Amino acid sequence: MKHRISFAMTLAALAATAAVSAHAAEEVTLYTTREPALIQPLLSAFTAQTQVKVNTVFVKDGLLERVKAEGDRSPADVLMTVDAGNLLDLVEGGVTQPVKSAALDSAIPANLRGADGQWYTLSMRARVLYAEKNLPLKSFRYEDLADPKWKGKVCIRAGQHPYNTALIAAMIAHDGEAKTEQWLRGVKNNLARKATGGDRDVARDILGGICDVGLANTYYVGHMKAAKEGTDARKWGDAIKVIKPTFANDKSGGTHVNISGASVAKHAPHRENAVKLLEFLVSEPAQNMYAQANYEHPVRKGVALDPVVAQSIGELKIDALPLTEIAKYRKQASALVDKVGFDR
């Protein structure tokens, strides 16, 4: 009898251990270049819905190099970046794998995902014009920023920043390298100060009377205009209006966008959960969270913008060029920045 009880207890213990092990296996590891705090609400919602724990690893620099060095022993399941170029570097570096998902393909427009399922856009931010709120401007072309009438009136962050090299690459794709070089020289001649700082500094310096216009990302507008009354950030946001530029020869009339996006890692130990996480991040509830928490533009159609973004910016009509086409010119864009001495 003793033996039977002991055997039964052993079986129960083994069953409990197996249950714990099975539960522990329900996890997914995310390597991200994005500050984890910005997406934690989405990850917590994913875990609450699926019971899959998300292990987040913040990799500020050298994501590709790290994953390559780890090889097939890498614990990474999902690789997330905040720039299309950086995301495509992962694909070209051979550290991602293709995914077939009807949920992803139906939610994300074709020009905002890899044709072979190697990468997917999760949210968008447009490169727009911040202008002094009383300027009589209703429309703007990116090419106009080189017009001599803006001499001494333009503020912008470093040309070598990924947000700007992506825009310059788009300019090359639309206008060619020679015209883009001429444009860059014109913008440099129009600078009110050295190309430096961050996007919010553009609004700050417009308020300070240093410049009248500048290029910056859309989501900073939400952060500034939603800030507490009387804070510096709110003052900066209230000093500007936003205009969505287009390219001169682009008949679609689209504005340049950059993205946050993700891929499934080549050696993902939890591939099924990795796909599950990506599918959740483009679901309607998660896209609503992107809009409300981060003031970004959802990649999924039909999702409401944050009210501040809706009022200040509105819906985006995006540049129709595929991001893969724009990314082809990233190296040329970076070389042009150095050639014209844009950041000196």
Burial class (CB in 10 A: 0-12, 13-18, 19+), 85: buried
Share of the chain above pLDDT 90, in %: 85
- Among 343, 331, 290, 1, which residue's Cα sits nearest to residue 168? 331
Structure-block tokens of residue 2: 């003793």
The residue type found at 301 is K
As a whole number, mean pLDDT of residues 94-110 equals 97
Give CA–CA dist 37/40, Å, rounded. Answer: 5
Q: CA 254, 310, 135 angle in degrees (round to 5)? A: 70
Name the E strands within 266-303: 297-298
- Write down the pLDDT at residue 103: 97
Backbone conformation region of residue 278, classed left if phi is above 0, alpha if psi is from -120 to 50, else beta: alpha
Answer whether 52's CB lies under 8 Å from 79's CB.
no
- Write down the pLDDT at residue 301: 93
- Write down the pLDDT at residue 236: 98
pTM score above 0.85: yes
- Among 150, 136, 132, 145, which residue's Cα sits nearest to residue 209? 132
- Write down the pLDDT at residue 224: 97
Answer yes or no: is pLDDT of 240 > 80: yes
Q: Across the chain, which distance is largest between two alpha carbons, in Å?
A: 97
Q: The domain 2-124+258-304 belongs to what CATH superfamily?
A: Periplasmic binding protein-like II (3.40.190.10)
Answer yes or no: is pLDDT of 20 > 70: no
Known binding positions: 219-220
CATH fold match for the domains 2-124+258-304 and 125-255+318-339: yes
Known binding positions for Fe cation: 219-220
Residue-wise pLDDT tens digits, 28-46: 999 999 888 888 999 999 9
Residue-wise pLDDT tens digits, 43-101: 999 999 999 999 999 999 999 999 999 999 999 999 999 989 999 999 999 999 999 99
- Write down the pLDDT at residue 38: 82
Answer yes or no: is pLDDT of 332 > 50: yes
Answer yes or no: is pLDDT of 192 > 60: yes
DSSP output for 191-226:
BSS-S-S-HHHHHHHHHTTS-SEEEEESHHHHHHHT
Cβ-count burial 60-84 (b if 16+ within 10 Å, e if not) = eeebbebbeeeeeebbbbbbbbbbb
Q: How many CA atoms lie within 13 A of 170 on its CB side?
A: 29
- Write down the pLDDT at residue 25: 55
| Topology of domain 125-255+318-339, CATH | D-Maltodextrin-Binding Protein; domain 2 (3.40.190)
pLDDT band at 344 (very low <50, low <70, confident <90, very high): very high
Answer yes or no: is pLDDT of 261 > 80: yes
Domain boundaries, the chain: 2-124+258-304, 125-255+318-339
Lowest model confidence (mean pLDDT) among 12-26, 107-121, 185-199, 204-218: 12-26
Residue-wise pLDDT tens digits, 133-146: 999 999 999 999 99
- Among 241, 253, 251, 261, which residue's Cα sits nearest to residue 318? 253
pLDDT band at 250 (very low <50, low <70, confident <90, very high): confident
108: phi then psi, degrees, rounded to nearest 5? -115, 125
Q: Where are the alpha helices (DSSP H) in 51-195?
A: 63-70, 84-92, 102-107, 162-175, 177-190
Share of the chain above pLDDT 70, in %: 93
